[in-house]
Amino acid sequence: MLTSLELANHFGFKIINGDFNALSRPVLVAELDRPGLELMGLFQYHEKDRIILIGNKEMALINSTDPDTIYKNCLKIFSDECPAVVITHDNPCPDCVMTAAREKNVPLFSCSQDTSELSSLMYIYLSEALAPRTAMHACLLEIYGIGVLLMGESGIGKSEISLELIRKGHRLVADDRVDIADVRGKLIGTCPETIYGMMEVRGIGIINVSRMFGINSLTKRSHINLIINLVPFKKDEPMERIGMKTNHYDILNESIPLIKLPVSAARSMAEIIETAVTNYKLKDDGYDTGYEFQKRLLEIQEKRQEEKRRKEEYAKMSSVAGNKLVKEK
């Protein structure tokens, strides 16, 4: 749970009001509120659980309005559900606002940032901090700019295949465990701090990826665009042959394209995964090789049927012409 104090520490806000209980208030939503209407006494659309930003416009309104009116309206704005109030541009806090904040024991912060810039930064931060989360036993890499989650049972070779992909110039996000957040309908994967930049290679132990392959071999986060499930190769098990069917896997109620790849000693899995990612990018750009193959088959079939029809018509016409000559004789 994110608290007002954690928010203040993250952005470096100066705390000008609020005791321990106040600073422990939970932040529950990412949306922010600039209370122009509320300062004038209009509360019809007021959202009580939002962080309040007071910028230059709000401060001009406060300074041009009767202090008693502002004080009374602030008592309503500073509800028990209000996580915090932030005054921007290093503006001094008016006495009527401070009195109301102390009376309601609401966290009151001050900062030097521009209001619009801070609003954008806070919304991005809160959207991620408050996003639904889960963790998965998997590896996450960025391959050709696509976030690829490698899944598979323990011992299937996820780390070894990831290592080969890193050697080919792709970037590691996380090995063994991936923390996943659903941020505004997009899955973002990160690595736990304790294992960032590390990999476990069976028979060798823990290796430092950036020391071995350079700092560009790592990235701290990536969208999850594609899931590749590594499974043991079984000769008699049916597998996708043409690629017409697209499977999906649900994570945090988000549906992600899934490709199942059989693993065997004779297959170069890193190159196969690169091929799978390239094919995914082509599909995403509107080119579907499976559809193109099916279209080509249909065109060839139609061409053969047309040739057959023409031969039958020619044979029929030849037969009619032959019969006509016989009759004339």
Active site residues: 137, 158, 176, 241
Contact 258, 247 (CB under 8 A): yes
CA distance 118 to 112: 10
Among candidates 142, 226, 148, 134, which has minimal Cα distance to 183?
134
Using alpha carbons, list the distances in angstroms from residue 233 to 18, 149, 156, 283, 328: 62, 19, 10, 26, 73
Tokens linked to 103: 């009376």
Residue 297's Cβ-count burial label (10 Å; 0-12, 13-18, 19+) is: exposed
Q: Strand locations in 209-253, DSSP E? A: 221-223, 226-232, 247-251
Question: What distance in Å separates the CA atoms of residue 77 and residue 91, rounded to the nearest whole number?
Answer: 19
